[in-house]
Amino acid sequence: MKPKDLKTAFSWEQREPLIRDRVFHVPNFYQEHGRYPLLSFEDPQVFGNENPVCIEYCSGNGDWIVERAKQFSHLNWIAVEIRFDRVRKIWSKIKNEKISNLFIICGDAKTFSDHYLPAHCIEEIYINFPDPWPKRKHAKKRLMHPCFVESMARILKFGKKAVFVTDDLTYMHEAVNSFYKNSQYTPSFPQPGFINEVKDYGSSWFETLWRKEGRTLYYTQFSRSPSG
């Protein structure tokens, strides 16, 4: 299957949340998300089983999560990506490599998390190289705001981890501060709250690119506190 074989799910006028062929389409600029039920992982259109579920936000072309899904086949994996052209590439990999434990969300990360996931349903969260939007005027577009950190606390199981990776040191400091300010998390690393290497973490398109350019990478990890 080629990426272009995945067709647009709906027209602008007819847009509504729907699952089609391993992809859950969550429309943008839509005000009626509350009308729809929470996602059921046991639904045959999703995973059809009760295995633990891990999620990656900003999945890009899907290189990292596809390899994780193949390596850890006893887990279910959700790839969240807002850009349809990238969703197509992930979908193509799922089809061509016959991966049954990977499901795609085409839509906004916070909208999906707030409206379609039950509380404390996610085993592990990964946020890999989201756009840092380095200009101050674009800061509101950054994913790792305190409100998203709060959203992750709602869906993450107690005692389980959220991992954030970036090549932008300023963005890392902002994200770590957001985690520290939220009493529902416990840091995994000592001050300054992040490290530069994680063994066997896996590679993505951006990870490979930034390493080739000689950039330093930053990893942070926080666990969901058992109370709060």
Q: What is the DSSP string of 101-119?
A: SEEEEES-HHHHHHHHS-T
What are the backbone angles phi and psi of residue 86, rounded to the nearest 5°?
A: -80, -40
Mean pLDDT score of the chain, rounded to an integer?
A: 94
CATH number at residue 206: 3.40.50.150
What was the pLDDT predicted at 15?
92
- Considering the candidates 21, 43, 85, 131, report the single residue annotated as catalytic: 131
From residue 106, alpha-carbon distances to 56, 128, 158, 216 in Å are 12, 16, 27, 30
Token pair belonging to 192: 């300054």
Residue with tokens 């939007």, as numbered in its chain: 133
Active site residue 131: yes
Q: Which helix (H) or strand (E) holds 173?
A: helix 169-180
Give the chain's domain count: 1
What was the pLDDT predicted at 85?
96
Q: Say which DSSP state 38 is in.
A: P
pLDDT tens, 142-183?
Answer: 899 999 999 999 999 999 999 999 999 999 999 999 999 999
Q: Is 34 part of a structural domain of the chain?
A: no
Q: Which helix (H) or strand (E) holds 66?
A: helix 63-71
Q: Is 4 part of a structural domain of the chain?
A: no
Q: Is 9 part of a structural domain of the chain?
A: no
Categorize the per-residue pLDDT at 10 as very low, low, confident or very high, splitting at 50, 70 and 90. confident
Can you give the pTM of this predicted structure?
0.95
Q: Is 204 part of a structural domain of the chain?
A: yes
Q: Is 11 part of a structural domain of the chain?
A: no
* Segments forming the whole domain that contains residue 178: 21-28+39-224
The C-alpha torsion from 82 through 86 and 92 to 98, rounded to 10°, is: -60
**Residue 55, Cα to own-chain centre: how many angstroms?**
5
Q: Is 14 part of a structural domain of the chain?
A: no
Categorize the per-residue pLDDT at 228 as very low, low, confident or very high, splitting at 50, 70 and 90. low
Total residue length of the chain: 228
pLDDT tens, 130-139?
Answer: 988 777 776 7
Give every strand in the sheet of 218-224, ordered side by side.
18-20, 23-25, 102-106, 76-81, 53-57, 122-128, 156-166, 218-224, 185-187
Q: Which helix (H) or strand (E) holds 97?
A: helix 84-97
pLDDT tens, 30-71?
Answer: 999 999 999 999 999 999 999 999 999 999 999 999 999 999
pLDDT tens, 69-112?
Answer: 999 999 999 999 999 999 999 999 999 999 999 999 999 999 99
Other Cβ atoms within 10 Å of 74 Cβ, number? 7
Residue with tokens 């790839």, as numbered in its chain: 79
